[in-house]
Amino acid sequence: MKFNEPASLKNHPFGEKIGQILSASLQAVDPGQAVRNFVRLEGDLLHIAEEPYDLDSLERVTVLGLGKATQAMAESLLDILPPHVPTRGLLIPKQAFSSPAAGFEVCAGGHPVPNGNSLLAGGKALELVSSLTERDLLICLISGGGSALMTSPHPKIGLENMRALTKALLSCGARIDEINTLRRHLDQVKGGRIAESAVPARVAGLILSDVVGNSLEAIASGPTAPDPTTKADALNILKKYQLTEGIETFLENVPETPKPNDPLFARVQNVLIGSNYLAAQAGLEEAKSLGFHTKFLGDTWQGEARETAGKLCAFLREDLPRPFCMIAGGETTVTLRGNGRGGRNQELALAAARELDGLHDVMLITLATDGEDGPTDAAGAVVTDRTLQRAHELGLHYESFLADNDSYTFFGRLDDLIQTGPTGTNVNDLTFLFGF
């Protein structure tokens, strides 16, 4: 994976090695390779993980691709499927691309807030899976971003209410699992309802996780997974963030989602093929091979980005042998207070600048694995013990940028943004902590 060379890495004695560590983490969760790791063809048997599917007994294979990694996952799967088996599909990515094969339609949706294209995609998905028979195999390729890219709100709720609710939840600091709990109960293509609509077909879900803890019902809001949460849970989230007005009545009148004991899931196989943990471990292995002492800080980091920055930076004060590389994974949130530009990774990095001031020979790097942190073209940023000093020399007032949630402008002025471009994958965020 290629990315720009931020100022703090250009002349750093460990700059090249740091770049190799970041690249190793991203390459480990390449979505095409992830599919190949779990799908293989042996004669007329298609093996998905350990489950065999007899292609001779099938009338066709239908593919529903959903999320930021859709293109790479679909192309990899089509390379494996034999040409004599009839296939068709609907692919719902964030960015449109040319159809990979005859019979496949590409319908890009909206992100991070669902739009009219998301609604169109949701309608097409329901139409596609509702047409399946017991001689069909539906393979769902699911990756991060899918919750917004495909939507079909219950008729009495409608798209505009879903858009308003999503925006409100994103701006008030709600966790992604909380947002997805609400989405599952308000939408006809989430919370196991794609699997429900596909009955009596067999369903196999290949899932690239972008949620902390890898709960299948939370990834893209679980279109093929049973939903362990209830409408009461969703209502409590609305109350927590004081967002009940206009939505509470709708929620009380929609049907409950399919639960783990529902017999429909006997025909459903869900396989986790990539995760934040895998990306972190690959980075640590690369670091170790390059001579770093390594430590894994876990992959369940959540909460306000500013507060998480302080907790992570505390590890840099430990008396560890140098050079060291520690990696943490998860997904933080940002409560918007200002009108600046940035994302949760850049905000965490900006908050860390104060924590690193006064330390020696340390560095913190944040990275959104999809290459897009919030509504910006940056994946994250680089912070060192000299960041605040450099900002002062340029006349940049750190406190003003933090107050205005303007981390993108701050690190842009320092030339310390991490810019990878869209990576084609999405397994949450990584934070790298270095000491030299």
Do residues 345 and 381 make contact, with C-beta atoms less than 8 angstroms apart? yes
Token readout for 187 is 């939408």
Do residues 34 and 111 make contact, with C-beta atoms less than 8 angstroms apart? no
Q: For residue 145, what is the DSSP state?
A: T
pLDDT of the residue at 351: 98
Fold of the domain built from segment(s) 7-28+277-435:
glycerate kinase, domain 1 (3.40.1480)
Closest CA to 26 of 431, 423, 366, 432: 423
pLDDT of the residue at 177: 81
Do residues 369 and 29 make contact, with C-beta atoms less than 8 angstroms apart? yes
In the chain, the largest separation of any two C-alpha atoms, in whole Å, equals 70
Do residues 154 and 254 make contact, with C-beta atoms less than 8 angstroms apart? yes
Fold of the domain built from segment(s) 31-274:
Rossmann fold (3.40.50)
Distance in angstroms (rounded) separating the CA atoms of residues 346 and 355: 15
Closest CA to 366 of 312, 295, 432, 424: 432
Token readout for 270 is 């869900």
Backbone angles phi, psi at 106, to 5 degrees: -105, 125
Residue ranges per domain, the chain? 7-28+277-435, 31-274
**Helix/strand number for the chain, H first, E second:** 17, 15
How does pLDDT run along the chain (436 residues), one tens digit per residue?
677 899 999 989 999 999 999 999 999 999 999 999 999 999 999 999 999 999 999 999 999 999 989 999 999 999 999 998 999 999 999 999 999 999 999 999 999 889 999 999 999 999 999 999 999 999 999 998 899 999 999 988 889 888 888 889 888 888 878 888 999 999 999 999 999 999 999 999 999 998 888 999 999 999 999 999 999 999 999 999 998 777 888 888 889 999 999 999 999 999 999 999 999 999 999 999 999 999 999 999 999 999 999 999 999 999 999 999 999 999 999 999 999 999 999 999 999 999 999 999 999 999 999 999 999 999 999 999 999 999 999 999 999 999 999 999 999 999 999 999 988 888 999 999 999 9
Q: What is the secondary structure of 267-330 as a DSSP string?
A: GEEEEEEE-HHHHHHHHHHHHHHTT-EEEE--S-B-SBHHHHHHHHHGGGGS---SSEEEEEEE
Distance in angstroms (rounded) separating the CA atoms of residues 239 and 248: 9
CA distances from 213 to 102, 218, 426, 429 (A): 37, 9, 14, 13
E strand or H helix that includes residue 77: helix 70-80
Conformation bin of residue 23: beta by default, left when phi > 0, alpha when psi is -120 to 50: alpha
Residue for token digits 């899932």? 207
Distance in angstroms (rounded) separating the CA atoms of residues 20 and 118: 37
Closest CA to 407 of 364, 351, 365: 351
CB-neighbour burial class of residue 233 (10 A; exposed 0-12, middle 13-18, buried 19+): middle
Torsion of CA 78, 81, 83, 87, to 10 degrees: -70
Beta-bridged to residue 54, according to DSSP, are 45
Token readout for 310 is 């302080």
Strand locations in 169-288 (E): 202-208, 268-274
CB-neighbour burial class of residue 197 (10 A; exposed 0-12, middle 13-18, buried 19+): buried
For 71-108, the pLDDT digits (tens) are: 999 999 999 999 989 999 999 999 999 999 999 999 99
Tell me how far the alpha carbon of residue 275 is from its chain's centroid. 9
pLDDT of the residue at 232: 94
Percent helix, percent strand, percent coil in the chain, to nearest 5:
40, 20, 40
